[in-house]
Amino acid sequence: MKITQVEPLILGRSLFVRVRTDEGITGIGECSPMNAPVVAAHIEHSLAPLAVGHDPTQVELLTERLFVGTYKIAGQTQAMATSGIELACWDIAGKALGVPVWRLLGGLYRDRVPVYASSGRRNTTPEEEAADLARLVEAHGFQAVKVKIGQRWGKDEDAMPGRSLALVKECRRVLGEDVAIMVDANGAYSAPRAIALGRRFEEYGVFHFEEPCPYHDDESTAKVAAALDLPVAGGEQEWDLLRFKTLLANRVVDAIQPDAIKTGGLLRSKKIGVLAEAFGAPVTQHNTQPTIGTVAMLHFAAVCPAARTPQEYSISAITGQHRLSGLLREPDLRVEDGCLRVPDGPGLGVVLDDEKLAALRTA
């Protein structure tokens, strides 16, 4: 089997990748939606010429070819673009054999994946946010939620004066003691401010503190991790295996957060999971996309022993407010008792609504 075409599909801000083969089997993947036209150009001009003509089922070899062949422009964009192609190749391999991708990655470790309701909002009051999360917990049985604190890369600023601490306090009051609360700063703080806030968060039993300092500032993040009993999480911006090794070996973070549509795909994510297991760190995947990104997250969690904490699932996906809502016909991604079921269809198990896809491509 050989790849005959690698096609980026721009869906507004989102980006899918379709890979066709000479045997008529087509695979679908997704790239992290940071800048769809830029990533799509990388696929078209840098990666597709390296992939066409090669066997899509030789995923390890092909992925290495893509990374090595473009090493002069290595970085996040390269890894995001590679992720979409790699996922599509796994989809093809699974379809060719009539088995789900998780079977090719080592077989089921778990068939239900606990997920947390992840809010991306900073424009709500503590009362509004806590009330919305409480409704989701009641409706879907979530055992964990995540809220945004600080101002993204905010240099110790808050989105609203006093919002961050007030939000955690209100969520704990409304949700009770049995629901885990995670906080995500998106690099908002200096180490001293993050430590001071983290100590207050510990009073409310916060589950983990994500990206307290800018992700590239290992020294500051490590200071926070060393000062707090509260676990510090990070890794959503990373793609290089050596970076994940550095984060774990140097105790920069306590929990690691790879994203399969950012790292270069499922195979590299699985290697990150093995690293985490070796260092005794949990994997709590980063995941903001409600269709193929979530499906990839489930296939990874299905085979990764270290994915023992709830994995991320966006509120916009749960409520149907995401721009891709309604695009996915299969698998069923309804949350029940705080969990998503691992897909069991061939390949990734993804079936898209072709009419919706066409409409998104022309919107």
Residue 340 has pLDDT above 90, yes or no: yes
Per-residue confidence (pLDDT) for residue 231, from 0 to 100: 98
Domain contains 89: yes
Q: 29-51: b or e for each residue (b if 16 or more CB lie within 10 Å)? A: bbbbbeebeebbebbeebbbebb
Query: Are 128 and 263 within one domain?
Result: yes
Assign 233 to helix, strand or coil.
strand
218 pLDDT tier (thresholds 50, 70, 90): very high
Query: Are 167 and 46 within one domain?
Result: no
CA distances from 272 to 81, 257, 285 (A): 18, 9, 11
Domain contains 167: yes
Per-residue confidence (pLDDT) for residue 154, from 0 to 100: 82
Q: CB-hemisphere CA count at 13 Å for 180?
A: 19
- What are 242-272's pLDDT values in tens digits? 999 999 999 999 999 999 999 999 999 999 9
Sheet with 3-11: list strands edge to edge: 3-11, 14-21, 26-31
Residue 108 has pLDDT above 80, yes or no: yes
The count of structural domains within the chain is 2
> Residue 224: enclosing H or E segment and its boundaries?
helix 218-227
Per-residue confidence (pLDDT) for residue 292, from 0 to 100: 98
List the Cα angle 296/257/134 in 5-degree steps.
85
Query: Are 254 and 287 within one domain?
Result: yes
CA 79 remoteness from chain centre: 14
Query: Are 190 and 334 within one domain?
Result: yes
Residue 310 has pLDDT above 90, yes or no: yes
Question: Length of the chain, please?
Answer: 363
Domain contains 359: no
Across the chain, mean pLDDT equals 97
Assign 339 to helix, strand or coil.
strand
> Left (φ > 0), alpha (ψ -120 to 50) or beta: where does 58 sit?
beta
Residue 169: give the domain boundaries: 103-352
Query: Are 191 and 251 within one domain?
Result: yes
Residue 220 has pLDDT above 90, yes or no: yes
State mean pLDDT over 57-82.
97
CA distances from 210 to 49, 107, 153, 156, 199 (A): 38, 30, 13, 15, 14
Query: Are 135 and 71 within one domain?
Result: no
State mean pLDDT over 9-36.
97
State mean pLDDT over 20-44.
97
Domain contains 362: no
How far is it, in rounded angstroms, from Cα 259 to Cα 190? Answer: 25
Residue 141 has pLDDT above 80, yes or no: yes
Q: CATH number, domain at 249?
A: 3.20.20.120
Q: 223-253: b or e for each residue (b if 16 or more CB lie within 10 Å)? A: bbbebbebbbbbbbbbbbeebbeebbeeebb
Domain contains 207: yes
State mean pLDDT over 85-102.
98
Assign 248 to helix, strand or coil.
helix
Query: Are 160 and 238 within one domain?
Result: yes
Q: 289-316: b or e for each residue (b if 16 or more CB lie within 10 Å)? A: bbbbbbbbbbbbbbbbebbbbbbbbbbb
How far is it, in rounded angstroms, from Cα 42 to Cα 187? Answer: 27
Q: CATH number, domain at 13?
A: 3.30.390.10
Of 198, 201, 205, 202, which is closest to residue 221 (Cα–Cα)?
198
How far is it, in rounded angstroms, from Cα 11 to Cα 205? Answer: 40
Of 340, 363, 361, which is closest to residue 7 (Cα–Cα)?
361
- Asked if 259 contacts 287 with a C-beta cutoff of 8 angstroms, the reply is yes
Query: Are 209 and 320 within one domain?
Result: yes
Query: Are 127 and 198 within one domain?
Result: yes
State mean pLDDT over 204-210.
98
Query: Are 330 and 348 within one domain?
Result: yes
Query: Are 30 and 174 within one domain?
Result: no
State mean pLDDT over 53-78.
97
Query: Are 179 and 297 within one domain?
Result: yes
Q: What is the pTM assigned to this prediction? A: 0.97
Residue 362 has pLDDT above 90, yes or no: no
Extract the tokens encoding 193: 């401010």
Residue 363 has pLDDT above 80, yes or no: no
- Identify the domain boundary among 67, 97, 127: 97
Q: What one-character-per-residue DSSP string does 131-196 give?
A: HHHHHHHHHH--SEEEEE-S-TT-SS--SSTTHHHHHHHHHHHHH-SSSEEEEE-SS---HHHHHH
- Asked if 87 contacts 31 with a C-beta cutoff of 8 angstroms, the reply is no
> Residue 127: enclosing H or E segment and its boundaries?
helix 126-140
